[in-house]
Amino acid sequence: MSTDKDLLSVQQARDLVDAAHKAQAEIVRFDQAKIDRICETMAKAVLREAARLGAMAVEETGYGVPDDKREKNRFAAEDVWNYFRGLRTVGVVSESKDVVEIASPRGVVAGIIPSTNPTSTAIFKVLIAIKSRNAIVLSPHPSAARCINESVRVMREAGVKEGLPADAIGCMTTATIEGTEALMKHKQTAVILATGGIGLVRAAYSSGKPAFGVGPGNVPVFIEGSADVPKAVQDILTGKTFDNGTICASEQAVVCDAPIESAVREQFKAQGAYFLSAAEADQLGKVVATPQRSLNPGVVGRSVEVIAKLAGLNVPPGTRCLMAELGGVGREFPLSMEKLSPILAFYVVDGLARGAERSYEILRYGGMGHTAGVHTRSREAAVRFGGEMPASRITVNTPTTHGAIGFSTALPPSMTLGCGSWGGNVTSDNVSPLHLMDIKRVAFETRPVKSVRPAVSSSTAAAPARPPMPQRAPARATTAQPVAASGPGKINREEIAAIVDRFLAGREPPPSQSTQAPTRPAVEAEAGSMYTAPSQASRSTERAGTGNGGGGGAERRSTAAPASANGHTTVDFVSEDDVRRAIQKGEKIYITAKTIITPAARDIGEPAEIFAKT
């Protein structure tokens, strides 16, 4: 039977991802207005069902408090959506003169949903996936499959009314370990959002897919000597008891500054906490932790009354939280672990430095990278404490439960909290739609790159390539007149040949080369190629001694037959060396409309304003 269930789960995962992949191909074409309209409709629909879905979650799992579940559903549907409502996720999302950013969706998101916060996490992941134009397939924890599927149904039906493909949101009804692995490893799965136990998160990271996993949160909170003690205690108990401590960012241990210990203890007692004796703490520890020192799921999200009964303890009526003073952190102190229930460890230290050390120890025992809290009137002390914490979020003067998720702080609202490299996670952010997009960047040149061979300027480069000219006769009478150009923009090849002839005749050949002038076919071929292919033009000018670096060191002259106009001597041909000599002497080079200027000469001469037209 178990094997049949696994096979069914694997096949279901495959079918859902295949369908979601096809649906995502439609979503990617939606404009921003349509995406936002779909998300708005889904958020409003699930918000109306927040209380019912919260009650379903408590009934199915036995974890938490119905009204607190309702509030978490409201947070996921309303606060999260309102925060990201204006976020651009389609097309150009950011633009400057130098860089244009364009958003692309990832594809199919695999969303792993826990039993501690089932409906709120499902709502959150569906919203951020669709907002970023992805499809999503959820794998629910088996003990919360019914309430998670119901949350998905509400959102899917609302989205379909606004044009969302029905298969864009899928949820497994039969979720086994094998089925979840098939979902994560499917070839069409693009990215994984994994919320759950450490084993599941590790499986996500080993799936070969990009994954945003979150770790456990053994959260310490330090009450520094300058703190407003009544408010600090109130905040800690509010965070610890919210939904019976099922949020991973809830406080797990109080670290109290010695000078205010008495006041802190009195406030905890006055506000409903019960300090256990050493014997009672040992008794409770045996129930909270298994022999392998893992958390007993039987206490997760349970009330004080249920936990006390399991441990055989008698506590005063109305007790909100059980507190155990401990002498250390680690396996020998089972109540120093993450407890996900209304139980707090209690430590006393002397000073900020020692408080930070103890808090570091607590984080190291199962909470690395997640969250820490501090209560203080000193901003400097808060920053100093935060600098010592291997945590992605350090909340100040607020419940860590509410502060870390962005309910009572300016952090992005999220039900998936990254733990950074401390916790073996890929991000330390509060996960959002931004993490489910790829950003393409169109980057324009801001700093030109020097090249050994200048580009051919547009004035000398030919536009379309011309057909090759017929081969000319080997010789040409010196009395031949240049052939007139046949129209505007046409090249007079005979005139070019004459100009190049005069230039080459005036050059002094390098000693190692023959002084015999090149034959006419060679000259004409080079002159013609100057205008038919830019790269060939560069090579021809180099062979004529006009390229970068020169040829054999011979002095070069502009032309052999300069002309005169308006009192200035004009030239028919200008090389790079002509320009360099003019720059050194501070002279101008006078040109006419028919003057030929090599690309290298133009690139150097025009910025220096060497050329003067007559």
- pLDDT tens digits along 327-338: 999 999 999 999
Q: Give yes or no for residue 584 having a pLDDT over 90.
A: no
**What Å distances lie between residue 407 and 101, 198, 220, 364, CA to CA?**
30, 25, 19, 26
Q: Which residue has the higher pLDDT, 3 or 353?
A: 353
Dihedral sign, Cα of residue 347, residue 63, residue 235, residue 318: negative
Of the candidate CATH numbers 3.40.605.10, 3.90.79.10, 3.30.1390.20, 3.30.460.40, the domain formed by 2-93+109-214 belongs to: 3.40.605.10
Q: Is the pLDDT of residue 456 over 80?
A: no
pLDDT at residue 269 is higher than 50 = yes
User: Quick one: how far is CA 292 from the chain centroid?
Assistant: 38
Instruction: Please identify which of the residues 248, 256, 321, 419 carries the catalytic annotation.
Output: 248
User: What confidence tier does 213 reach under pLDDT thresholds 50, 70, 90?
Assistant: confident
pLDDT at 438: 96
Q: Which range is least confidently modeled, 278-282, 304-308, 491-495? A: 491-495
pLDDT over threshold 70, residue 48: yes
User: Nearest CA to 111 among 135, 146, 87?
Assistant: 135
- Please, where are the H alpha helices in 29-176? 32-48, 50-61, 66-74, 80-84, 118-131, 145-161
pLDDT at 507 (0 to 100): 54
pLDDT of the residue at 582:
85
Q: What is the pLDDT of residues 475-513, one digit of tens each?
A: 443 344 444 444 444 556 566 666 666 665 555 454 444
Average pLDDT over residues 186-211: 87
Residue 276: pLDDT over 60? yes
The model's confidence at residue 74, banded by pLDDT at 50, 70 and 90, is very high
Q: What is the DSSP letter of 490?
A: -
Q: Which of 8-17, 383-392, 533-542 has the lowest mean pLDDT?
A: 533-542
Give the pLDDT score at 504.
Answer: 58
Residue 539's pLDDT band (cuts 50, 70, 90): very low
Q: E strand or H helix at 307, and its extent?
A: helix 304-311
pLDDT digits (tens, 9 = 90+) for 19-32: 999 999 999 999 99
What average pLDDT does the structure give for the chain?
86
pLDDT value at 395 more than 60? yes
Q: What is the mean pLDDT of residues 201-207?
A: 83
pLDDT digits (tens, 9 = 90+) for 403-439: 999 999 999 999 999 999 998 888 999 999 999 999 9
For residues 44-72, give the mean pLDDT: 97
Region 104-125: mean pLDDT is 97
535 pLDDT higher than 50: no
| Residue 378 confidence (pLDDT) | 98
Give backbone dihedrals phi and psi of 180, rounded to 5 degrees, phi first. Answer: -65, -40
Higher pLDDT, 305 or 514: 305
Q: Is the pLDDT of residue 99 over 60?
A: yes
298 phi-psi bin (left φ>0, alpha ψ -120 to 50, beta other): alpha
Share of the chain above pLDDT 70, in %: 81
| Separation CA 156–CA 165 (nearest Å) | 9
Which residues are within 8 A (CB) of 503 and not within 5 positions of it... i.e. 6 or more apart?
Answer: 544, 557, 558, 559, 560, 572, 573, 575
DSSP 329-351: -BTTBGGGS---SSEEEEEEESS
At 607 the pLDDT is 80
Q: Is the pLDDT of residue 563 over 90?
A: no
- Give yes or no for residue 470 having a pLDDT over 60: no
Please tell me the predicted confidence (pLDDT) of residue 576.
Answer: 84
**Any catalytic annotation for residue 248?**
yes
Domain limits, the chain: 2-93+109-214, 219-430, 493-613
Strand 99-105 vs strand 437-443: parallel, antiparallel, or unpaired? antiparallel
- Where residue 316 falls among pLDDT bands split at 50, 70, 90? very high
Specify whether the CB–CB gap between 597 and 589 falls below 8 A: no
Among 68, 17, 482, 51, CA closest to 242: 68
Q: How confident is the model at residue 483, as a pLDDT?
A: 41
Burial readout 326-357 (b: 16 or more C-beta within 10 A, e: otherwise): beebeeebbbbbbbbbbbbbbbbbeebebbbe
- For residue range 150-183, list pLDDT tens digits in order: 999 999 999 999 999 999 999 999 999 999 999 9
Burial class (CB in 10 A: 0-12, 13-18, 19+), 400: buried
Residue pLDDT, tens place only, 232-254: 999 999 999 999 999 999 999 99
Q: What is the pLDDT of residue 601?
A: 83
How many Å apart are CA 245 and CA 250, to the nearest integer?
A: 6
Which of 51-65, 162-176, 583-597 is least confident?
Answer: 583-597
Instruction: Give residue 527's pLDDT band: very low, low, confident or very high (50, 70, 90).
Output: very low
Task: Tell me the residue type at 107.
Answer: G
CATH of domain 219-430: 3.40.309.10
Alpha carbons 134 and 119: distance in angstroms, whole number: 20
- Which H or E run contains 238? helix 229-241
State the pLDDT at residue 77: 98
